[in-house]
C-alpha cells in the first residue's frame, strides 16, 4: 500500500482514465475483503484519492462516489458536490445515516453503529481514532433530549470550555453547570454537568444521573502513572451511585479494558480503527546522527525544523515538544528566525492585551504577530482559548505545544510535527506517539493529515486499560480508591486493608473520602490538628475566617506539605516559605504581575554578567512563564485544594472539641476567582479576563448570578462594550 500511496503522491498533473480505474479496482477489492487490515488500507487509499480528486477525470467520479459510499464515508457524499447523490437509493442510504437530532449532519458508517448502540441504551466503552468524531456523538446525545441529567467529565478545563461553547445552544433545555457552587435545576429543565473529576468529587447534591460520559477514560489506569487517576476512578464510582446511569466512555487507540468490567456494568467494549482522515508519515529522524551529543543534535533538529516550517508556508502546523520550557524556547527561536527573514503581518487583539496587562517584553506578543503561538498548561485560560480560536480560524499557522493540546483540544492542524520523543522527562510509548500522530488533519476539513516525525516510532504495543476498582490488584490499587469501593465488591486480596480503613472514625472517614486525596496524609493532618487545637495561644492559626494571617497561611501550608502535595521543583516552587511569600504578594497586589516582577528580579540577581538583548528576552520570558505556571498549578489548583482539605478536617476537629471552627472558603474562592467577587465568578469560569470583569462589574445588578449575568450582558451589549478594549470585546462576544 505504501508504494501505491507514494505513486499517487508523486503524480504530477492529471490522472489518466487507466490510473483512475486501476486505483478504483484496487480500492474496491480492499474494501470488500473480510480482513480488517485490508479494509483499513482500502479506506486509506480512498482518502488519498479524495485529496487529489481534482486531478482525476470527472467522468470517473461516479465510480469514486460509489466507493465513498462502500467505505461508509457518507458525510463526504453530502458535502462534496462532485460526489453528490444521483440515485434515489443512494439518497435513501445517505438519509439513513443522517443524524436525527443534529441539523444537516451526516454520520459515517461506524458513527451510525455507535450512535445506534447508545440510543438503544447500551453502556459503551469506545476506542476510536482521534479523527473518528466521537465528540459529535456527545452532542447528538445531548441534542436528543432523551436524558434529563447528564454528567460529562473531561480531563482539562480547556476541553470542557470547548465542549461548553459547543453545547451552549442547548441552554434552553439544560442548565449548564460548570462550578461546584451552582445548584441543579429542579424545574422542567435538565442539568448538564460539565466538570473535571475533581469537581465531581467536590460537588454536593448530584441528582439522579441519566447519562454519564467520560472523555479520555484511559486516564483511569493506574499503570500509566497519572496523578489524577485516583480522582477519576472515584468520580466514576460516585456518579454510578446516582441512579445507575447509562454511560459512554471514550478514548483513542485502546486495545481492551480490565476483565470483569463489561460483565459488572453490562457494558460493550467497542473498538474501531475507522477514520475518514488519512495519515501521511514523513520520517525526519533518519537525518539525525546517533553519535551526536545532545547539544549538536538539538541544534541540527532545530535548523531542520525551521526549514520545514518555512517550506510548509501557510499550511497550519502544531509542533509537539516534551515540556513547556522546551516549547517556549523553540518557539522563541523560530520567532527570531522569522524576524530576520520578514516583517510581521498578523494584527491580533490579544497582542494589545498582553502588552498592556502582562508585559511588552514577552516574546509571545511579538511571536503572535508572525503567526506563532505556544500552548501549554501554564497559560491563563483566556489566552489558551484565544490561541486555539485564532488557530482554528486561520489567523495563526504554528503552535508549539506540549501534551496539553494533544490530550483533547481539537484543532484544524493539517500538519503535526513530532519534535521530541519524551513526555516530560520520560520517553513516550506507542500509545502517546499514536495520540500525537492522530492530531494531524481533521474530519470534514482535511482528507489527509501530515506527520513529520523527528523521532523513531516506538515499538508497537496494545494498551489494555486497567480499571483499578474492578481488578483490585493489591500491588497497584491505592487506598484512595479502595476506601470508595462498596463493601460487597471488595475482593479477598485487599479485604484486610479495606477493613483497616473502615475502622477510621465514621465522621472523619466521610470527610476523607469526599476530599479524595492522600488518605495517610489527611490522617496525619487530623492528628496534627488534634494536637494543636488544645494550644489556646496558637489556636488562631487554625480557627481563622476570611483571610489568613501570614503565620496562619504558613501553618496550613506546612500541614499540606508532604501530606497533600510535595515540592519537586518542577512547578516553580521549592519550599513552603517561598510559596507563602508568593501567596502573600499575590493577595496584596491582586495581580499575577506581582509574581512576574518577583521572578524577574530573582532571575536577574542570579546573573553575574549583564545580559545581552537576546538573553534579556529569554529571562523576561522565563519570569512571565514561571509566574503563570505558579499561578495555574499552585494558586488555581494545589493551594485551593490544600486549604479545602485542611478546612474540612479542622471543622471536624473543632466540632468534636466544642470549639468554634474557622472558615477558609472565602479565601479559597478569592484565590480561584482572581480576587473577583464570587457572584461574578461564572465569568472567570467562562475564560473572561479579570481586567474585563473589573471594568464592567459595577454595571451588573448585584442580585444576578450565573446565567442571568450572561443574559444581562447580552441585553446591554452597547453599554458594556463601550468600556472594553477590542480583545476584551472579542472574548466576551464568544459568550453572548
C-beta separation of 151 from 209 below 8 A: yes
Please give the backbone phi and psi of residue 714, each rounded to the nearest 5 degrees, phi first: -65, -40
Per-residue exposure over 169-188, b if at least 16 CB sit within 10 Å of its own CB, e if not: eeeeebbbbbbeebeebeee
Inform me whether the pLDDT recorded for 77 exceeds 90: no
DSSP per residue, 628-643: HHHIIIIIIIIHHHHH
Instruction: Grade residue 572 by pLDDT with cuts at 50, 70 and 90.
Output: confident
Instruction: Grade residue 311 by pLDDT with cuts at 50, 70 and 90.
Output: very high
Strand partners, 150: 192, 211
Predicted local distance difference test score (pLDDT) of residue 591 = 82
Predicted local distance difference test score (pLDDT) of residue 617 = 84
Q: Nearest Cα to 597, choosing from 575, 630, 570?
A: 630
| pLDDT tens, residue by residue, 211-239 | 999 999 999 999 887 778 999 999 999 99
- Give the percent of the chain with pLDDT over 90: 60
| pLDDT tens, residue by residue, 54-67 | 899 989 988 998 99
Please give the torsion angle defined by the CA atoms of residues 330, 335, 336 and 339, in that order, rounded to the nearest 10 degrees: 160
Instruction: Grade residue 18 by pLDDT with cuts at 50, 70 and 90.
Output: very high
C-beta separation of 276 from 443 below 8 A: yes
Q: Is 679 helix (H, G, I), strand (E, B) or coil?
A: helix
C-beta separation of 98 from 105 below 8 A: yes
Q: Which range (73-87, 282-296, 523-537) has the least confidence?
A: 73-87
Inform me whether the pLDDT recorded for 521 exceeds 90: yes
Neighbours of 107 (CB within 10 A): 24
Instruction: Grade residue 664 by pLDDT with cuts at 50, 70 and 90.
Output: very high
| pLDDT tens, residue by residue, 420-475 | 998 888 888 899 899 899 888 887 788 999 999 999 999 988 899 999 999 999 99
Neighbours of 265 (CB within 10 A): 17
| pLDDT tens, residue by residue, 153-172 | 998 887 888 899 899 999 99
| pLDDT tens, residue by residue, 349-386 | 999 999 988 888 888 999 999 999 999 878 888 998 89
Report residue 209 CA to chain centroid gap.
24
At 285, list the grid cell: 529522524
| pLDDT tens, residue by residue, 197-208 | 999 999 988 999
C-beta separation of 252 from 439 below 8 A: no
Predicted local distance difference test score (pLDDT) of residue 272 = 93
Inform me whether the pLDDT recorded for 317 exceeds 70: yes
Predicted local distance difference test score (pLDDT) of residue 79 = 52
Report the alpha-carbon distance of residue 375 to residue 625 in Å, rounded.
11
Instruction: Return contacts of 708-713, CB within 8 angstroms, 24+ apart.
Output: 709/679, 709/680, 709/682, 709/683, 710/682, 710/686, 710/735, 710/736
434 Cβ neighbours under 8 A, 6+ residues apart: 252, 253
| pLDDT tens, residue by residue, 619-646 | 888 888 888 888 888 998 899 999 999 9
**pLDDT averaged over every residue in the chain:** 90
- The DSSP code for 525 is H
Inform me whether the pLDDT recorded for 43 exceeds 80: yes
| pLDDT tens, residue by residue, 275-310 | 999 999 999 988 887 788 888 988 999 999 999 999
Predicted local distance difference test score (pLDDT) of residue 49 = 93
Instruction: Return contacts of 288-294, CB within 8 angstroms, 24+ apart.
Output: 288/454
At 38, list the grid cell: 485490508
Continuous H helices in 243-395: 261-264, 294-312, 324-341, 349-357, 363-368, 381-392
Q: Give the Å distances, CA to CA, from 29 to 42, 71, 282, 583.
A: 8, 11, 27, 66
Please give the backbone phi and psi of residue 525, each rounded to the nearest 5 degrees, phi first: -60, -40
Report the alpha-carbon distance of residue 595 to residue 628 in Å, rounded.
8
- Helix (H) / strand (E) element for 166: namely helix 157-167
Q: Give the Å distances, CA to CA, from 213 to 116, 171, 417.
A: 16, 18, 31
Inform me whether the pLDDT recorded for 685 exceeds 90: no
Please give the backbone phi and psi of residue 317, each rounded to the nearest 5 degrees, phi first: -140, 145
DSSP per residue, 437-480: HTTSS-TTT-SEEEEEESSPPPPP---EE--HHHH--TTT--HH
Instruction: Grade residue 78 by pLDDT with cuts at 50, 70 and 90.
Output: low
Amino acid at each position: 500500500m505504501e508504494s501505491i500511496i507514494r505513486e499517487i503522491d508523486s503524480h504530477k498533473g492529471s490522472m489518466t482514465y487507466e490510473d483512475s480505474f486501476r486505483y478504483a479496482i484496487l480500492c474496491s477489492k480492499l474494501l470488500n475483503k473480510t480482513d480488517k487490515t485490508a479494509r483499513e488500507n482500502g479506506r486509506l487509499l480512498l482518502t488519498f484519492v479524495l485529496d487529489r480528486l481534482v486531478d482525476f477525470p470527472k467522468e470517473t467520479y461516479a465510480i469514486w462516489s460509489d466507493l465513498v459510499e462502500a467505505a461508509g464515508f457518507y458525510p463526504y457524499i453530502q458535502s462534496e458536490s462532485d460526489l453528490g447523490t444521483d440515485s434515489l437509493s443512494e439518497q435513501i442510504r445517505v438519509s439513513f445515516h443522517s443524524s436525527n437530532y443534529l441539523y444537516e449532519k451526516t454520520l459515517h458508517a461506524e458513527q451510525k453503529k455507535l450512535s445506534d448502540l447508545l440510543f438503544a441504551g447500551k453502556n459503551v466503552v469506545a476506542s476510536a481514532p482521534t479523527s473518528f468524531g466521537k465528540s459529535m456523538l456527545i452532542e447528538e446525545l445531548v441534542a436528543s433530549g432523551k436524558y434529563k441529567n447528564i454528567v460529562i467529565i473531561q480531563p482539562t478545563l480547556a476541553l470542557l470550555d470547548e465542549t461548553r461553547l459547543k453545547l451552549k445552544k442547548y441552554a434552553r433545555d439544560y442548565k449548564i453547570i460548570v462550578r461546584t457552587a451552582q445548584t441543579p435545576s429542579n424545574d422542567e429543565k435538565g442539568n448538564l454537568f460539565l466538570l473535571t473529576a475533581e469537581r465531581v468529587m467536590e460537588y454536593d447534591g448530584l441528582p439522579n444521573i441519566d447519562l454519564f460520559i467520560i472523555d479520555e477514560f484511559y486516564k483511569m489506569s493506574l499503570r500509566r502513572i497519572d496523578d489524577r487517576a485516583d480522582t477519576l476512578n472515584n468520580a466514576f464510582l460516585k456518579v454510578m451511585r446516582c441512579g445507575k446511569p447509562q454511560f459512554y466512555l471514550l478514548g483513542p487507540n485502546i486495545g481492551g479494558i480490565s476483565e470483569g468490567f463489561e460483565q459488572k456494568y453490562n457494558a460493550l467494549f467497542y473498538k474501531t480503527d475507522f477514520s475518514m482522515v488519512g495519515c501521511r508519515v514523513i520520517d525526519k529522524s533518519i537525518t539525525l546522527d546517533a553519535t551526536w551529543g545532545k547539544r549538536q543534535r538539538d541544534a541540527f533538529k532545530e535548523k531542520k525544523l525551521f526549514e520545514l516550517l518555512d517550506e510548509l508556508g501557510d499550511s497550519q502546523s502544531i509542533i509537539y515538544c516534551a515540556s513547556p520550557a522546551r516549547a517556549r524556547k523553540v518557539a522563541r527561536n523560530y520567532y527570531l528566525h522569522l524576524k530576520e527573514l520578514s516583517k510581521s503581518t498578523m494584527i491580533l487583539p490579544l497582542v494589545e492585551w498582553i502588552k498592556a496587562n502582562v508585559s511588552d517584553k514577552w516574546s509571545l506578543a511579538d511571536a503572535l504577530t508572525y503567526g506563532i503561538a505556544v500552548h501549554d498548561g501554564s497559560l491563563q485560560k483566556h489566552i489558551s482559548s484565544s490561541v486555539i480560536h485564532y488557530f482554528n480560524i486561520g489567523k495563526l499557522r504554528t503552535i508549539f505545544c506540549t501534551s496539553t493540546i494533544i490530550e483533547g483540544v481539537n484543532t484544524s492542524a493539517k500538519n503535526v510535527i513530532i519534535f521530541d520523543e519524551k513526555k516530560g522527562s520520560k520517553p513516550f510509548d506507542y500509545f502517546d506517539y499514536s495520540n500525537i500522530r492522530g492530531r494531524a488533519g481533521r474530519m470534514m476539513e482535511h482528507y489527509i493529515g501530515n506527520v513529520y516525525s523527528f523521532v523513531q516510532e516506538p515499538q508497537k504495543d496494545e494498551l489494555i486499560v486497567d480499571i483499578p476498582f474492578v481488578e483490585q490488584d493489591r500491588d497497584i490499587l491505592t487506598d484512595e480508591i479502595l476506601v470508595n469501593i462498596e463493601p460487597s465488591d471488595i475482593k479477598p486480596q485487599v479485604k484486610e486493608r479495606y477493613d483497616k480503613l473502615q475502622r477510621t472514625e465514621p465522621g472523619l472517614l466521610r470527610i476523607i473520602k469526599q476530599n479524595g486525596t492522600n488518605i495517610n496524609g489527611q490522617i496525619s493532618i487530623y492528628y496534627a490538628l488534634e494536637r494543636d487545637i488544645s494550644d489556646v495561644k496558637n489556636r488562631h492559626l487554625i480557627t481563622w475566617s476570611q483571610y489568613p494571617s501570614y503565620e496562619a497561611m504558613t501553618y496550613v501550608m506546612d500541614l499540606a506539605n508532604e501530606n497533600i502535595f510535595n515540592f519537586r521543583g518542577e512547578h516553580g516552587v521549592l519550599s513552603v516559605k517561598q510559596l507563602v511569600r508568593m501567596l502573600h504578594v499575590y493577595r496584596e497586589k491582586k495581580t499575577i504581575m506581582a509574581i512576574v516582577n518577583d521572578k524577574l528580579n530573582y532571575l536577574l540577581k542570579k546573573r553575574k554578567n549583564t545580559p545581552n538583548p537576546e538573553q534579556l528576552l529569554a529571562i523576561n520570558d522565563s519570569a512571565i512563564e514561571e509566574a503563570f505556571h505558579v499561578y495555574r498549578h499552585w494558586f488555581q489548583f494545589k493551594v485551593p485544594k490544600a486549604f479545602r482539605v485542611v478546612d474540612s478536617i479542622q471543622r471536624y476537629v473543632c466540632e468534636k472539641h466544642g470549639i468554634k471552627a474557622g472558615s477558609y472558603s472565602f479565601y479559597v474562592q478569592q484565590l480561584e476567582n482572581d480576587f473577583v467577587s464570587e457572584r461574578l465568578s461564572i465569568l472567570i469560569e467562562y475564560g473572561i479576563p479579570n481586567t474585563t470583569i473589573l471594568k464592567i462589574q459595577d454595571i451588573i445588578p448585584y442580585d444576578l448570578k450565573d446565567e442571568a449575568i450572561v443574559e444581562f450582558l447580552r441585553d446591554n451589549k452597547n453599554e458594556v462594550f463601550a468600556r472594553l478594549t477590542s480583545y476584551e470585546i472579542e472574548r466576551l462576544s464568544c459568550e453572548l
